[in-house]
Amino acid sequence: MATAEKKLNWVLQPGLRSLLLWTVLLKAWVIALAYLGYGLFPFNLANYQANFIYPPGEAPNFWTPLKTWDGQVYLFLADQGYSPHQWMNAFYPLFPFLVRIAGLLMGGNMMLGGLLLSHFLTFLAVFYLYQTARVNYGERGAFYGCLFLLAFPTGFYLGLLYSESLFLALASGYFYYWEKKKTGPAALCAFLLPLTRPTGILVFLPALFAALEGRQKARPRASKWLPVAAFLAGYAAYLGLMQMMTGDAFASFEAEKSFIAHFDVKNLFHPFDWFFRSFLQLDPSLPFTPILLLNRVFFVLLLWALWVCRDFLNRPSFVYCLVLGLVPALAGGMVTYLRYLLVLFPLFSALALRWKGKEGYWLAASLALQGYLAIQYALNYFVA
């Protein structure tokens, strides 16, 4: 009884309660903006009709502002699954699988189930992030770090049919359970991350650094290495699933060639070509050139943030931000880069400490940009 009461008091911490309330308010604000923009401004019907639509031929309706672009693909995969030689194989399977389960629980409404799932996972991620950040960055760093993340310009994706909320919940959950020395839940998060997004396997590197830290020497071998090994097991499971569903374990690599980003790990070995292509050869005729420029601005800001926050980040956190911040940019064309920055949760807490006393300025600027991008997304303009 005492243990249950202690856990209840722990969950209902004033800072956490306030943060969860802010999460609700920010989510309501994003949804209201999306529908307000959808009602007041012209919808980009040309983009809508030129891209993948599911169900096929469906006209814009009430749900459209919340399921443009990749949201359509996840609904298709949740409903129809994978098959050989389709470009949708580039999307990883765990999120559409969970959307299908949530949709069945909602009476077959995949859209509603997926949205509720995404919101639930966001709250779960906020809980993990807050509790872990309190240990590493204190109450203030934890609270404002979570707010900074939620207010980030692409933070609105955390309530949509995108895998950001799932990835964030699993990545933050891994480090939360690792700090708590809970081997089973940490290993489960590690196993599921490579099934979520292409960058899921990259969390293996900061996890390895965490296991090799001097203060971890006293841990039992299984407690230290089982969660780390689970990343490799998860990636093997992903390849096995793709082999079973498409007949090709590496179907996603072939499918990636259909996208303008041209994500390929081989690009990592040609940094000069990448720099020339990304910064000196940008095609101004593309309709979403402003977003591509914004991605490049934020890449430079990431490099600056990593430098100024290096003393606030422990080694695993720094490696996490470095790897998950640089690899998506260097391996691709930075077409959707703003979304990849959303999962760099340790950096947001570090920035909260670095900008102590100036949080309001950052939140105002970030929320203004998020509001603009959320409206653009609802109107079917390319954002990320």
Q: What angle do CA 378, 170, 247 make, to 5 degrees?
A: 80
pLDDT attached to residue 15 = 81
When pLDDT is averaged across residues 100-111 and rounded to a whole number, the result is 95
Measure CA of the first residue to CA of the last residue in the chain; give whole Å.
Answer: 48
- Closest residue by Cα to residue 266 from 327, 206, 194, 336: 327
Binned at pLDDT 50, 70 and 90, residue 2 comes out as: very low
Q: Are 227 and 181 in contact (CB under 8 A)?
A: no
- The answer, yes or no, to whether residue 11 has pLDDT greater than 60, is no
pLDDT of 326-338, one tens digit each?
998 888 777 888 9
How much of the chain is helix, strand and coil, in % rounded to 5? Answer: 75, 0, 25
- The answer, yes or no, to whether residue 74 has pLDDT greater than 90, is yes
pLDDT of 338-353, one tens digit each?
999 999 999 999 999 9
- The answer, yes or no, to whether residue 269 has pLDDT greater than 80, is no
Q: How far apart are CA 199 and CA 325, in angstroms?
A: 10
- Closest residue by Cα to residue 200 from 188, 190, 210, 208: 190
Q: Are 247 and 315 in contact (CB under 8 A)?
A: no
Average pLDDT value for the chain: 88
Q: Are 158 and 150 in contact (CB under 8 A)?
A: yes
When pLDDT is averaged across residues 238-247 and rounded to a whole number, the result is 95
The pair of structure tokens assigned to 217 is 């020497």
pLDDT attached to residue 356 = 84
- Among the residue ranges 114-118, 136-140, 196-200, the one predicted with the least confidence is 136-140
Q: How far apart are CA 236 and CA 31, in angstroms?
A: 38
When pLDDT is averaged across residues 207-219 and rounded to a whole number, the result is 76
- The answer, yes or no, to whether residue 4 has pLDDT greater than 50, is no
Binned at pLDDT 50, 70 and 90, residue 199 comes out as: very high
The pair of structure tokens assigned to 357 is 């006393």
Q: How far apart are CA 312 and CA 347, in angstroms?
A: 9
- The answer, yes or no, to whether residue 262 has pLDDT greater than 70, is no
pLDDT attached to residue 223 = 76
pLDDT of 275-326, one tens digit each?
776 676 666 666 677 888 888 899 999 999 999 999 999 999 999 999 999 9
Domain limits of the chain? 30-247+263-378
pLDDT attached to residue 8 = 47
The pair of structure tokens assigned to 7 is 């856990």
pLDDT attached to residue 345 = 94
- Closest residue by Cα to residue 172 from 186, 184, 162: 186
